[in-house]
Chains A and B, each alone.
Chain A
Amino acid sequence: MNSARKQKMTIVFFILFGSAVTVGLILFALNEGINVFFTPTEIAEGKVPAGQNIRIGGMVKEGSLVSDGLEGTSIEFITTDTNADVKVAFTGVLPDLFREGQGVVAEGVVDADGVFQANQILAKHDENYMSAEVKAAMDAAKKKQAAEVTAQ
């Protein structure tokens, strides 16, 4: 094998090796790091397997935020897409833009009682801006309600 070819082979080997390692890592990582988005309606209908890490989005129901009687920094509130309500439990500090009547996205798991145990609460920087995910959830709920009205 002449040296120019050897050189090319080294390069090809490195690239193949690099891609193989990376593809492996990516496949593993995609399993761990990807959250699917669900709406409160879908959770209420029991479409979410318990224990799976998911994101939900909706509006924080007015007057639903409770912290009294809970331990430490725990809070509970209800998120809604106007069609279905899901209770969310969270321990920690709420983001600045979290407000009743505003959109919210939460990451976490649904427990056996149907309560969403959030490990992270996200609210957007701009209060006029509704997250695309929350908007999609609200739109889907509206469509569903409209469809039910016509069905009746």
Chain B
Amino acid sequence: MIPELGNFAVMLALCLAVLQVIIPMVGSYTNNTLWMSLARPLSSGLWVFMVLSFSCLAYSFLHDDFSVAYIARNSNTLLPVYYKFAAVWGAHEGSLLLWILILSTWGYAVSLLSRNLPLDMLARVLSVMGMITAGFLVFLLFTSNPFDRLLLNTPSEGTDLNPLLQDFGLTVHPPFLYMGYVGFSVAFSFAIAALLTGRLDAAWARWTRPWTNAAWAFLTVGIALGSWWAYYELGWGGWWFWDPVENVSFMPWLVGTALIHSLAVTEKRGVFKSWTVLLAIAAFSLSLLGAFIVRSGLITSVHAFAVDPERGLVLLALLLLIIGSSLFLYALRAPVVSGTSNYGGYSREVFLLINNIILVVATATILLGTLYPLITEALYGEANKYSVGPPYFNIVFLPLMSLLAVCLSFGTFTRWKKTSPALLWQKVGKLAFVSIALGIVIPLIVTAEVNMGAMFALVLAIWIVLCIGKDILDKTANKADRLSGLRGLGLSYYGMQLAHFGFAVVICGICLTSNYSVEEDVRMAKGESITIGKYEFRFEGVVERPGPNYTANSATIQVMKNGENYLTMHPEKRFYSARGDVQTEADIQVGFFRDLFTALGDPRGDDEWVVRIHVKPFVFWIWFGAFLMAAGGVTAILDRRYRSRKVVRSDIPATDANGSLRPALES
């Protein structure tokens, strides 16, 4: 009964979504206030029914209703309750339901939080979001319904959740990732609504900014969680593999980052408008492309969902419809909304433009690398199977990111319109020398060896951090006292600097880990030990240990630090009986400056095991930095100006030196 209720709720949600598409949109063109104001109640109704259907599926999971095909495939009576709930989004159908629930949640949030939005704009935004929701609901109902029943031969036991997913990191990773992916639908809908009205001004950019920041922050956390999960759950000790599925989550993030910076220019200076709109469309389109690639099984990937060509085709049609129509609309309307303004060669506009170009180029290269196997297969036939490996991505991506890091500080130091090169040099010259000196000297003192990669990265990170400090000091220098100066800077400024600081931390984490990690795969018998740096790892043998839905080979590794007992680690090899899967469970001691990573490999010979032992300095900084970046995004949202009820149409200076700035175009 409950699954039918859930199914029914999805159908009702589809009906409401269709109404949400039509009524407010028609109302906005006929100036019918009543029809336009229906957008709000419709979006809340849609949300209520999505919550209801999601709850029904969760309820059925918790009560082990194996007559539902999806539950029979992804749950088991022995599964701990917590994972039964997380199993709701453990495979294709349920995760799609979560995806749509989150989409409707964003729509509901827009209807709640946009009280200062003109009614016709709100009506169009919610109508566009309704279109996307309706499209995905149709896809869910007709190709991948999680409520489908196995009524004739109901199994008495489910086949269990994939053991890789039975883990805290992965239960929270998809919701965050989807919040990010789907969150870009808000920026997308604002862009489409703005194209429809032709009202693409500073106010539009200001409405869009907090939503974009929010989606970006969620996506940042989502990607970081995924990478963290890969690090400790896959048992490889790696945290990024340039796997197609990782790439498709990374591309919307890069374009979203470009969008955040471009929106700043559009809001403050009224330029880059069509470019900003294009980025908003691109960010969401790449999110959809990601969904398509992951769910169609087009690309061989370590975590591709079930392969089903029919689903893939429907999803491709949906993707082409959304991207195609939005680009068509863009082609028709973009010339209408362009605006011009002047800025000099050393202005903040130029450095933000450089930021945008680097990020978009980086996205394009990743897209090329990800789709390359598909392209060659289509061009030269199936016999030519190429795969693009990490070397390609590292060679292309790392120089681009280094350039980005160098330019970042110039972007924060320069002023809008024009900055004199002499002033700029006066500000950064000393800092550049200091960061180069520190970046070279610190690793030399600590490790007493020359490591170009680590030094280069450290120079970049120190450069960013020093420039942040200098900028804050400069900005508060003329105030009566520092404290009131610091208070006056505004949360969006602190958000920006926090995110940039996070970027520096990530650079440190990635490069120091890559260059200084010690990774040993050794064959060990009981009592043998290996020494890495000041740590000695002694293998004390393997015992069998039962778990709730698995049995484990649990190893004991005694770690000594400087000759004294430090800690005992228990990496495991688990055997999940329901599926017959084997799963490596690494044991990691997380530290702020270094992680100790141990994983149990396979048995060799009579009494020996292969053991993987890594000492990874600064690896924690990768995720810590990502968290700081997300926190920066959230801090910027909290800025007072986004909450002001007053609608300011345009606060762009009316004219500049040449008097050539046109006011933002109104419809």
Contact = CB atoms under 8 A, between A and B. Distances in A.
For the complex, would chain B's binding face be called helix, strand, loop or mixed by DSSP majority? Answer: mixed
A23 to B, nearest CB: 10
Interface string A19-52: 1011001101110111111000000000000000
A67 B605 contact: yes
A147 B394 CA distance: 43
A21 to B, nearest CB: 8
A68 B392 contact: no
Contact of A26 (B340, B358, B396, B604): B396
Interface stretch (B41-49, B209-217, B383-391, B626-634): B383-391
A57 B396 CA distance: 28
A32 B521 contact: no
B332 interface: no
B387 A15 contact: no
Contact of B386 (A35, A122, A127): A35
Contacts of B521: 73, 91-93
A126 interface: yes
A22 B357 CA distance: 11
Interface residues of B, number: 59
Contacts, number: 124
A96 B581 contact: yes
A11 B658 CA distance: 20
Given A33-B390, A34-B388, A127 B581 contact: yes
B393 A33 contact: yes
Contacts of A131: 300
A145 interface: no
B382 interface: yes
Contact of B354 (A14, A75, A125): A14
- Residue of A28, A32, A68, A132 ringed by the most chain B CB atoms within 10 A: A132
B361 A124 contact: no
Contacts of A34: 372, 386-389, 392
Contacts of B55: none
Interface of B: 162, 164, 235, 300, 302-303, 307, 340, 342-345, 350, 353-354, 357-358, 361, 364-365, 368-369, 372, 382-396, 399-400, 521-523, 573, 579-584, 599, 601-602, 604-605, 610, 612, 658, 660
24 contacts: A3-B658, A4-B660, A6-B345, A11-B353, A14-B353, A18-B357, A22-B365, A25-B365, A26-B368, A28-B395, A29-B393, A30-B372, A32-B391, A33-B395, A34-B389, A68-B605, A72-B523, A73-B523, A93-B601, A93-B612, A96-B573, A122-B302, A125-B164, A136-B382
Closest 7 CB pairs of A and B: A33-B392, A37-B385, A33-B391, A93-B601, A29-B395, A29-B392, A32-B391
